[in-house]
Amino acid sequence: MDILSLLPPWLLTHGVALLVVLPLLAGAAMAVIPRERIAWTITFMVMLICMLCALTLALQVIDQGRLSYKMGGWEPPYGIEYVVDALSAPVLLLISAMAVICLFYASPSVKAEVEPKKRAAFYGAFLICAAGLLGMVVTGDAFNVFVFLEVSSISTYVLVAMGHSRDRRALRAAYDYLILGSIGATFFVIGIGFLYMETGTLNMADMSNILDGLDGGSRVAQVGFAFIVIGLGLKLAMFPLHMWLPGAYAHAPSFVTIFLASTATKAALYLLLRFAFTIFDLSFDYVVTILSQFVLVLAVVGMVFASIQAIFQTDVRRVLAFSSIAQVGYILLGLSFLTLSGLTASYVHLINHAFIKGGLFLAVGAMWYRFGITRVADFRGLSKTMPWTMSAFTISGLSLIGVPLTAGFVSKLQLATAAWERGYGWAVGVILFSSILALVYIGRILRVAYFETPPQINGVEVLKNEAPLIMLIPMWILAILSIVIGINAGWVVDAAGRAAELLIPTQMIGRGL
Amino acid sequence: MTDLFSSFNYGVIIILMMLGLYVVFAARNLIKRLVGLSVFQTSVFLFYISLGKVSGGQPPILVDSRGLEKTDHAASPIVQVAASDDIAAIHSLHHVEAVLYSNPLPHVLILTAIVVGVATLAIGLALTVRIREVYGSIEEDVIDRLDYQYNLEGAGE
């Protein structure tokens, strides 16, 4: 890689640490910064540097393979190791890029939704949340994962609760999220405890080696795995554990919803992949059983049930939140096939869904900014009053349904092919059925927006009132990205393929079929 | 029966864990649910602390064996050994008194988890205070009823 040789050497060696340290330090500094503009500028610069770090790391990973960084110079099994490989590099890039894209949008949106005194602190909480998410993905130490998981969760509770000046139900949503999120994280830490009990190490690579030596018979590790799957299941909104998600997404400030919807569940999904396939692996029978039966059933039920629930919601943000739960089902379905193509499909959908759902929530946030509306019934005539916003919403919406030439079609086609190869013809049917349900819930919003006339307020028809340019740019970046991936998905599929090869090494292919 | 007593700490942990979880799900008062959550988390702290305890192990504090020799309290130097070391071999080779020490790592880990638990509880209580200010109640039944009316009247201005 030529670009790598042009970069300063310190960025190449310490980029991994900067990714977490910078937002964490800047987040703490926000406590003493009084001015909102300064806070926004610092946040933006920090996340931009993080994105550049993630980009260089991704290039380095393509060039050299696995990168390992010894935190504080301590050797890996004893010290904390940070690892970037083909599995984590795309997720790191996704999180930091989504943060930068959202921040463009933040300045008008936060002004409209958060009390003036709390805005600088709001950016601080956002930075800490981003640091936690990046840390979860980059760390190679199992207990460190828990710490970052909680760092991101606790700041997320605060961010969700900040929505109370717009909608008082945000407080209750944040409280429910706090209770369930803490239970999830505690289950996760119980699982880590069992793994530590069995292996005596916290380093993921070391843990994986020791577990391999145990010949798959260890009951303690088995219990640990169950706790970890449930704990992460709560965090990633696996179907029956999704209760916190609709409230948190529907009542948080728009900016928070956009960032959470596109990154938080993705980071938890990444952890599930990391734990299920690299620390444990398919040579353990219980891992195969849990993933290919338990997770498969929950994924399918989630895809159908959450989509049906989405149809009956009156609030657009709740429609999209339930749709997120269904999309998590798609990702889990691909994972539960335990094949290379299945994992590739699930990883592609993980990336695509972040762009799609980010784009949709960006558009909905802009509509609230202009007209203060989130209910489906209030979307009347939006195609005339906010044409640009509505067309970005439409493109992302079509992508969510899976119309050809969009990102959603690429990942759904991959998933259906993987299901067919696995011999699950019925799963193809479920994917189709769930897509039809998506057509219903997105179509319902589009029908109101396109085929009904704008409402009249006090006898005067509402006039065209487009969102500001700074809000339009990010949603159009994501909408265009959706189409670009739909036309040429090669780069996303390649990245996902490399991640899948890492998850299922050659000797494991065909295990558990 | 001996099994029951040798692992009774785990029994206590399981009971606390289930109690905590039950309170979280059964209580309809926001403070009581937080109390349940705390009990649940505390049981996990106990679990980690149990995990690090080596039977017969001393606290993992470094003893300066030369200082002990001066006061003639110990005939042979004391050497601290981990449970994974071969104690008999150390005894026979070095003529030292081997003392087991407990594994300190889980205890250090749980310090972090305690801090996390405190932060969670603080945020939870702060949220409860705000909910009390806005809704005038911390009973979920009352809050649900108020939210239901709020939904019917429409969220917008």
pLDDT in tens, A411-421: 999 999 999 99
Judge: A154–B44 Cβ closer than 8 Å, yes or no.
no
Q: Tell me what pLDDT residue A75 has.
A: 82
Whether B119 and chain A come into contact, CB under 8 Å, resolves to yes
A-chain residues near B51 (CB < 8 A) = 193, 196-197
Q: Chain-centre distance of CA A374, in angstroms? A: 22
Asked if residue A454 lies in contact with residue A381, where contact means CB atoms within 8 angstroms, the answer is: yes
DSSP state of A452: S
CA distance A193 to chain B (A): 7
| Burial label, A255 (beta-carbon count in 10 A; 0-12, 13-18, 19+) | buried
Q: How many domains does chain A have?
A: 1
**Coil, strand or helix: which one is A455?**
coil
Looking from the CA of A177 toward its CB, the CA atoms found within 13 Å total: 32
- Please tell me which of the candidates A178, A193, A372 has its beta carbon nearest to residue B47: A193
pLDDT at A240 (0 to 100): 87
Residue A462 lies in a domain: yes
The widest CA-to-CA distance across chain B, in whole angstroms, is 84
Residue A85: C-alpha distances to residues A11, A62, A203, A337, A501 (Å): 17, 9, 15, 23, 11
Residues 6+ apart with CB under 8 A from A313: A319, A322, A376, A441
Residue A32 CB partners (closer than 8 Å, separation 6+): none
Q: Which domain holds residue A365?
A: 293-513
**pLDDT value of residue A513:** 63
Q: Is A399 or B91 the better-scoring residue by pLDDT? A: A399
In the block, which residue shows the tokens 């990102």?
Answer: A407
pLDDT at A359: 93
Mind spelling out the 3-state secondary structure of B73-112?
A: CCCCCEEEECCCCCHHHHHHHHCCEEEEECCCHHHHHHHH
Q: Which chain B residue's Cα is nearest to A79?
A: B105
CB neighbour list of residue B97: distance below 8 Å, 6 or more residues apart: B74, B75, B76, B77, B78, B79
Average pLDDT over residues A4-23: 82
How many of the other CB atoms lie within 10 Å of CB of A334? 29
Find the mean pLDDT for residues A330-357. 92
Is B123's CB within 8 Å of A190's CB? no
CB pair distance less than 8 Å for A197 and B51: yes
Backbone angles phi, psi at A374, to 5 degrees: -135, -10
Give B20-39 pLDDT, tens digit per residue.
999 999 999 999 999 999 99
Most confident of the following: A472-476, A503-507, B98-102 = A472-476
Residue of A nearest to B122 (CA): A154
Residue A254: Cβ-neighbour burial (10 angstroms; 0-12, 13-18, 19+): buried
For residue B30, the chain A residue with the least C-alpha distance is A175
Residue A485 included in any domain: yes
Of A172, A342, A162, nearest to A260 by C-alpha is: A162
Q: What are phi and psi of B156, to 5 degrees?
A: -75, 175
Cα dihedral sign for A212, A216, A217, A221? positive
**The pairing of beta strand A81-84 with beta strand A67-70:** antiparallel
Instruction: Report the residue from A143, A167, A189 with minimal CB separation from B155.
Output: A167
Token pair, residue A227, equals 């706790």
Give backbone dihedrals phi and psi of B61, rounded to 5 degrees, phi first: -110, 130
**pLDDT recorded at residue A285:** 84
* A404 inside domain: yes
Taking Cα atoms as reference points, which of A304, A305, A320, A316 lies closest to residue A353? A320
Q: What CA–CA distance (Å, rounded) separates A212 from A196? A: 14
Helix (H) or strand (E) holding A19: helix A9-29
pLDDT value at position B74? Answer: 47
CB spacing of A197 vs B150 below 8 angstroms: no
Q: How confident is the model over A482-492, as a mean pLDDT? A: 89
SS3 content of chain A, % helix, strand, coil (to 5): 80, 5, 15
CB of B45 less than 8 A from some CB of A: no
Q: Is residue A184 part of a domain?
A: no
B23 interface with A at CB cutoff 8 Å: no
- Interface with A, mutate which of B38, B54, B127, B150 (most A CBs under 10 A): B127
Whether the per-residue pLDDT at A212 is higher than 90: the answer is no
Q: Which of A147, A178, A315 sits opposite B123 (nearest CB)?
A: A178
Copy the structure tokens of residue A409: 């079609």
Phi first, then psi: give them for residue B146, nearest 5 degrees: -65, -40
Contact A190/B47, CB-based, under 8 Å?
yes
Please state, in angstroms and rounded to a whole number, the distance separating the CA atoms of residues A27 and B9. 40
Interatomic CA distance for residues A35 and A25, integer angstroms: 18
Average pLDDT, chain A: 89
Task: Decide: A171 and B124 in contact? Cβ < 8 Å.
Answer: no
Instruction: Tell me the chain B residues in contact with residue A197 when contact means C-beta distances shorter than 8 Å.
Output: 51
Of B21, B116, B124, the CB nearest to A178: B124
ipTM: 0.88
- Choose among A178, A185, A373: nearest Cβ to B127: A178
Asked if pLDDT for residue A399 goes beyond 90, the answer is yes
Angle (CA) A452-A457-A463 rounded to 5° is 65
Domains of chain B: 1-53+106-157 (1.10.287.3510), 55-102 (no CATH)
H or E stretch covering A461: strand A460-461
Q: Which residues in chain B have Cβ-Cβ distances shorter than 8 Å to A168?
A: 134-135, 150
* B108: nearest CA partner in chain A: A143
Tokens of A138: 């980059």
State how far Cα A164 lies from the chain centre: 24
pLDDT the model gives residue A214: 77
Instruction: Answer whether B101 touches A (CB < 8 Å).
Output: no
**Which chain A residue has the Cα nearest residue B48?**
A193
CA A350, distance to chain mean position in Å, is 7
**Token pair for residue B130?**
């705000």
Cβ pair A168:B150 closer than 8 A: yes
Cβ contacts of B37 on chain A, cutoff 8 Å: 179, 182-183
Q: Cβ–Cβ of A375/B156 closer than 8 Å?
A: yes
Residue A47 forms part of a structural domain: no
Does residue A21 lie in a domain region?
no
Residues B113, A189: C-beta atoms closer than 8 Å = yes
Question: For residue A411, is it within any domain?
Answer: yes
Tell me the shortest Cα–Cα distance from A379 to chain B, in angstroms: 13
Judged against a pLDDT cut of 70, whether residue A252 lies above it is answered with: yes
Closest CA to A247 of A328, A155, A184, A180: A180
Which residue in the block uniquely carries the two structure tokens 């596109």? A262
Q: CA-CA distances (angstroms) from residue A89 to A56, A58, A94, A263, A265?
A: 10, 5, 9, 14, 16
- What mean pLDDT is predicted for residues A222-229? 92
SS3 of residue B18 by DSSP = helix
Distance CA A374, CA A253 (A): 12
- Tell me, yes or no, if B55 comes closer than 8 A to chain A by beta carbon: no
Beta strand B78-81 pairing with B97-100: parallel
pLDDT of residue A463: 74
Query: How far apart are the C-alpha atoms of A401 and A386, rounded to whole Å?
Result: 22
Residue with tokens 């109370």: A164
Does a structural domain hold residue A478?
yes
Question: Structure pTM?
Answer: 0.91
Q: Give bridge partners of residue A457 from the DSSP assignment.
A: A460
CA B123/CA B138 separation, integer angstroms: 15
Residues of chain B with pLDDT under 70: 1-2, 63-80, 83-98, 153-157
Chain A residues touching residue B22 (CB < 8 angstroms) = none
Query: For chain B, what is the radius of gyration of the CA atoms?
Result: 26
Angle at B61 between CA B58 and CA B63, to 5 degrees: 100
Task: Please check whether residue B38 touches A, CB under 8 A.
Answer: no
Nearest to A164 among B48, B123, B130 (CB): B130
Q: Is there a contact between A23 and A136 (Cβ–Cβ < 8 Å)?
A: no
Cβ distance A349 to A334 under 8 Å?
yes
pLDDT at B124: 95
pLDDT number for residue B7: 79
Q: What's the pLDDT at A297?
A: 93
Least confident of A137-151, A207-221, A329-343, A373-387: A207-221
Percent of chain A with pLDDT over 90: 53
| Shortest Cα distance, chain A CAs vs residue B20, angstroms | 10
Question: How many cross-chain Cβ pairs, A to B, lie less than 8 Å apart?
Answer: 82
Question: CA–CA separation, A424 vs A415, rounded Å?
Answer: 11
Chain A contact for B148 (CB, 8 A cutoff):
no
**Pick from A110, A132, A91, A95: nearest CA to A37:** A110
**CB-based contacts of A475, cutoff 8 Å, min separation 6:** A105, A359, A362, A363, A366, A389, A392, A393, A396
Residue A489 C-alpha, separation from nearest chain B C-alpha, in angstroms: 41
The residue of chain B with its CA nearest to that of A187 is B44
Of A288, A334, A285, A273, residue with least CA distance to A503: A273
Check residue B77 and give its pLDDT: 61
Rounded distance, CA A97 to CA A266, Å? 14
The single-letter code of the amino acid at A94 is L
| Beta-carbon count within 10 A of B111 CB | 12
Q: How far is B56 from chain A (nearest CA, A)?
A: 18
Residue B78 in contact with partner chain A when CB distance is under 8 A: no
